[in-house]
Structure 1
């Protein structure tokens, strides 16, 4: 009789369900808007300022949903609200194709933001408590990889169907329809959790981090990320490159993001989460600013690779550090971090749209966004206490 293997098997049904949830709510529900914004301009005359408002409204919904999920949803109701978020995300994506009213779009983008936040916050909790401790780092990477998969799949669908002359309304409906079969994969997350859950760290085991400075650095990341996450195809179009490059840039972001969560997890395991977060900030700052340094197709595509490979990592690493810094008050720490990031990413598209010049000139907005990320990198230095110097004995 063989001895029992002490290593628990990989729960692939849980991991695929988590990835599908983020593909639905973030990869499609949130980020397909970036690819469809130029087509909304083409078919409905939406200008850059209105596009920026819709992005900020979506971010406002995300902020509201994240704070509600982190601070007010009881543990017993997490599954119910998580399911509601999934259905609301699919419905809001489909609804974007049912009319050309700005008021309707604004309402649906707000709902989409709330739904994405419920999936991120509540879905993350449901997943981690169902995973053995040794699979949690890998599971977190695969979960965030679902977001990248949604970006890639929806971008490919949009680019392909647009070639057949479908209008943007039909493309919204098609993207929403693609999410429906993915709901089937999420079912394992609604099963009962295991009876054994790893205990949280105690206050004595907390990481030495000054949380207010970490929150300030995270707010800088929210501002720096939002310009490219909202306007990247318009930014690239303003460089005067070929339409093929404009069309493929957001796809490149998704493809770069696919392996990024696992790669940054490896960096964090090898050199520590703090150093990994430093690197992610610098990579993202360079990715955002590269179209300024190299305003051509090569610069646009290289910037997309750097941006795609780092923006998810900044979120995952920063929130992980915040949880470890406040182990007995993790919900409070996540709520404060989310609020700071959320307010900054609401402001970002509005400021960038206001400062953009004619012909999709985003030079000044990109300069500010990249500068915000570099400022955040500097603030991370203040978030880590310096070692106390011990006076020599006399």
Structure 2
């Protein structure tokens, strides 16, 4: 695309803009409507999460809800106005996404099905899966314009970026290209993205892949993560939002229903979900429990010591955990008094169970 000079006038002179002129311009514009929970019309944001948390399904559910004019999604109100929504899935084949859509629309009313047929748009079979060239970006831009969609979902950012988004130069090039081709379309753009972190501690803005630059260019981000408990589960939370007050603590637990919809379950403090985990990322309770049970079984057999080699054979050789993780867990057991290093014997640990120490904390 050709670059336009927005700084100079027709005579080539620099035009200095007063802030009051921009304020008055905004006052003359209509107030934007919020489509859903802090997402205003014309904004650009992210639905991001760790693997297998249902990012695509969550985005599809929101897109379908917008297209049929639902008055509620995921426990939060919507204005009930049907909006033409375009879902560009760069990752999956048409068979995979269409079979999921079949389940999703099965619960719609006849009136909603008619609206879905008119307002929920997709892409042709030969649409590029990766945006590798300027022609690919130009095609996407033109397709979005031709669709006349009000809301556009793109899955995912990784297929729009050549290289590792965590690298600053690549992230900068992506955001520049994104703005150049899609930033001036006056559409609501919602991009599905992934996280590089999220298992050992509560997810936040820094969990987003390429967060150093990506978060600066998008107006908001909602994150999805796994609940670090033996019972499993997933939760969603607001990572940041430039339009509404930030909520650092609230998480919304959910499950995936058989009909392909995200089902809201309950609300809980995000940090309470990690009470059984080491928030500093050192460990979670599952691996600690495994080691505790192993030490307890050795003690019940009359053993007074355990060697590093025994730990390795029981937890690393069978891929239960990595060597690095194992030694971090051993450190936790020493802190809890379950075992202690035996002086003069490197790699040998004394078992304290049954001696009055070693009670679990």
TM-score (norm 1): 0.23
Greater share of strand: 2
Higher relative contact order (CA 8 A, sep 6+): 1
Indicate the structure (1 or 2) with the bigger Cα radius of gyration: 2
Greater share of helix: 1
TM-score (norm 2): 0.24
